[in-house]
């Protein structure tokens, strides 16, 4: 700004006659405020609470919206997605239903290799175009913050392309995008059996290059027998630490390698999946304030039997978030409302855990809790206004979208 510009007065907005589920922890279950009001100056909330507490100045807002008694929650947050990718695996899904084994599909060039190939074939523009319908599906359900990972390039050029596409999404839709660099997702064909070389030659230099371009908000990895060992992930985390970047990890999805404990030892934002997590891992995460991100879409799609240790996480006081894990192979899911229902039905999470898991705790898992995730003064005015009579309707229905309106940074947005 050149200093001569007059930005004009900041507009104040008011949402009145609302039943607020603020998700503020100091206000009890769901942080409910009946007869509530939210006031925003520009994009910031300046007051959220009972009508009675509204100052006369704020009551004379530039624009006033009557919520007609509707429930208002923080806008939703999908804290684990792979929405930027090429192609899809619908044909593979069909073949599996007809009896083909995973091995036969992999031999025929299917599985993650097909997504890597399809992703490498696309330009940034094409990756953006492919991701937009998935993003729009999320936004239509009141989502305003989406985490997006790289991890289907598996070479420096395409890992960067994926992250550039993720950043571009934020310029095309009213949404906050948070990126994760996930080159340590799988070993590409040329490096089979040489994970160390792949990390040294691709993952680490790619991270430095992506960071230099401002593309990385956090660094992720896949710690699993079919992916990378804890020692290999530690090399990636050390590099992240040297660059001042926070880390997170796909851990304990198919077996217990101690990935969550490793992540906690680096003060990770989150460890995700966690079906095979043990009580010691849950305790280590609680101590490090590492959020447990549960992903029921992958559990469902893979028809897993091993449930995440929800009781152990509760007992340890580990924070829990939930997310779609939207990806073409194991969770082709673009509904956070359905994710909430699955978390309740499959994992027996409570209403409070489900709703906090897509708002406050999801914001915590992304390191953006100061900015969004609850409805309170000082935060971005990111709201979801719902046509429901009680919050439990958000987790009870299957395949029904009761969103009335979404507000992002103080602006009403159509989607
Ligand atoms: Zn994932």
How many angstroms is it from 82 CA to the middle of ligand 1? 6
CB-based burial of residue 4 (10 Å sphere; 0-12 exposed, 13-18 middle, 19+ buried)?
exposed
Asked if 246 contacts 218 with a C-beta cutoff of 8 angstroms, the reply is yes
pLDDT grade for 6, boundaries at 50, 70 and 90: low
Determine the Cα–Cα distance for residues 356 and 294; give it in Å rounded to an integer. 12
How many angstroms is it from 94 CA to the middle of ligand 1? 22
How many angstroms is it from 205 CA to the middle of ligand 1? 22
State the CB neighbour count (10 A cutoff) for residue 390. Answer: 10
Asked if 83 contacts 134 with a C-beta cutoff of 8 angstroms, the reply is yes
The whole-number pLDDT of residue 108 equals 80
Phi, then psi, of 229 in degrees rounded to 5: -80, 165
Determine the Cα–Cα distance for residues 370 and 146; give it in Å rounded to an integer. 16
Question: Ligand 1 being an ion, which residues bring their Cβ within 5 A of it?
Answer: 325
Determine the Cα–Cα distance for residues 45 and 51; give it in Å rounded to an integer. 15
**pLDDT tops 60 at residue 415:** no
Describe the strand order of the beta sheet including 291-294 as a list of residue ranges. Answer: 76-78, 143-149, 176-184, 218-223, 248-251, 270-273, 291-294, 320-322
**pLDDT tops 70 at residue 7:** no
Asked if 130 contacts 85 with a C-beta cutoff of 8 angstroms, the reply is yes
State the CB neighbour count (10 A cutoff) for residue 191. Answer: 17
Q: Quote the tokens at residue 191.
A: 């490096």
Percent of the chain, pLDDT > 70? 98
**Per-residue pLDDT averaged across 16-38, rounded?**
97
Sign of the torsion formed by the C-alpha atoms of 54, 57, 60 and 62: negative
Average pLDDT, the chain: 96
Residue with tokens 């000082």: 378
How many angstroms is it from 183 CA to the middle of ligand 1? 12
Helices 156-172 and 124-139 cross at an angle (nearest 10°) of 50
How many angstroms is it from 298 CA to the middle of ligand 1? 9
The whole-number pLDDT of residue 3 equals 45
* Chain segment 208-254, per-residue pLDDT in tens: 999 999 999 999 999 999 999 999 999 999 999 999 999 999 999 99
**pLDDT tops 90 at residue 2:** no
Q: Which of 263, 367, 349, 354 is nearest to 310 (CA)?
A: 349
Q: Quote the tokens at residue 42.
A: 């520009």
**Per-residue pLDDT averaged across 297-320, rounded?**
97
Percent of the chain, pLDDT > 90? 93
How many angstroms is it from 346 CA to the middle of ligand 1? 19
How many angstroms is it from 274 CA to the middle of ligand 1? 12
Determine the Cα–Cα distance for residues 246 and 375; give it in Å rounded to an integer. 25
Least confident of 6-10, 79-83, 243-247, 355-359: 6-10
The whole-number pLDDT of residue 102 equals 76
How many angstroms is it from 397 CA to the middle of ligand 1? 25
How many angstroms is it from 220 CA to the middle of ligand 1? 9
Least confident of 1-10, 157-166, 377-386, 390-399: 1-10
Q: Quote the tokens at residue 356.
A: 């906090």
Q: Which of 279, 235, 237, 231 is nearest to 257 (CA)?
A: 231
Longest dimension (CA), the chain: 70
The whole-number pLDDT of residue 239 equals 98
How many angstroms is it from 362 CA to the middle of ligand 1? 14
How many angstroms is it from 135 CA to the middle of ligand 1? 16
How many angstroms is it from 33 CA to the middle of ligand 1? 35
How many angstroms is it from 7 CA to the middle of ligand 1? 42
What single string gives the DSSP state of each residue in 106-133? HHTT-THHHHHHHHHTS-HHHHHHHHHH
**pLDDT tops 80 at residue 148:** yes
**Per-residue pLDDT averaged across 173-188, rounded?**
97
What does each C-alpha distance from 18 to 190, 234, 357 come to in angstroms?
57, 48, 22
How many angstroms is it from 81 CA to the middle of ligand 1? 6
* Chain segment 327-385, per-residue pLDDT in tens: 999 999 999 999 999 999 999 999 999 999 999 999 999 999 999 999 999 999 999 99
Residue with tokens 């829990």: 320
**Per-residue pLDDT averaged across 197-203, rounded?**
98
């Amino acid at each position: 700004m050149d200093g001569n510009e007059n930005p004009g007065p900041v507009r104040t907005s008011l949402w009145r006659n609302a039943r607020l589920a603020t998700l503020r922890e100091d206000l009890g279950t769901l942080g409910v405020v009946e007869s509530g009001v939210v006031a925003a100056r520009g994009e910031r909330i300046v007051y959220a609470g009972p009508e009675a507490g509204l100052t006369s100045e704020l009551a004379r807002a530039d624009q006033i919206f009557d919520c007609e008694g509707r429930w208002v929650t923080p806008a939703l947050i999908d804290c684990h997605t792979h929405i930027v990718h090429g192609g899809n695996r619908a044909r593979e899904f069909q073949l599996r239903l007809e009896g083909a084994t995973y091995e036969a599909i992999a031999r025929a060039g299917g599985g993650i290799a097909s997504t890597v190939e399809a992703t490498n074939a696309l330009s940034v523009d094409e990756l953006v175009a492919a991701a937009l319908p998935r993003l729009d599906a999320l936004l239509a359900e009141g989502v305003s913050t989406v985490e997006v990972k790289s991890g289907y390039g598996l070479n420096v050029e395409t890992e960067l392309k994926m992250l550039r596409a993720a950043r571009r999404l934020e310029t095309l839709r009213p949404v906050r995008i948070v990126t994760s660099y996930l080159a340590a997702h799988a070993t590409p064909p040329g490096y089979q059996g040489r994970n160390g070389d792949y990390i040294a030659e691709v993952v680490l230099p790619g991270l430095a290059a992506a960071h230099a371009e401002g593309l990385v908000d956090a660094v992720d990895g896949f710690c699993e027998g079919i992916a990378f060992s804890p020692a290999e992930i530690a090399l990636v985390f050390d590099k992240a630490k040297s660059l001042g970047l926070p880390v997170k990890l796909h851990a304990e999805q198919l077996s217990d390698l101690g990935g969550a404990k490793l992540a906690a030892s680096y003060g990770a934002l989150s460890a995700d999946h966690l079906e095979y997590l043990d009580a010691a891992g849950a305790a280590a995460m609680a101590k490090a304030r590492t959020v447990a991100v549960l992903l029921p879409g992958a559990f469902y799609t893979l028809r897993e039997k091993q449930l995440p240790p929800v009781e152990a996480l509760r007992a340890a006081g580990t924070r829990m978030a939930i997310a779609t894990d939207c990806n073409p192979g194991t969770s082709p899911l673009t509904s956070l409302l359905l994710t909430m229902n699955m978390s309740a039905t499959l994992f027996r999470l409570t209403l409070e855990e489900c709703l906090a898991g897509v708002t406050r705790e999801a914001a915590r898992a992304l390191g953006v809790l100061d900015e969004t995730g609850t409805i309170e003064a000082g935060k971005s005015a990111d709201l979801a206004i719902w046509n429901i009579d009680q919050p439990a309707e958000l987790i009870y229905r299957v395949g029904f979208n009761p969103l009335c309106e979404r507000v992002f940074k103080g602006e009403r947005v159509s989607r």
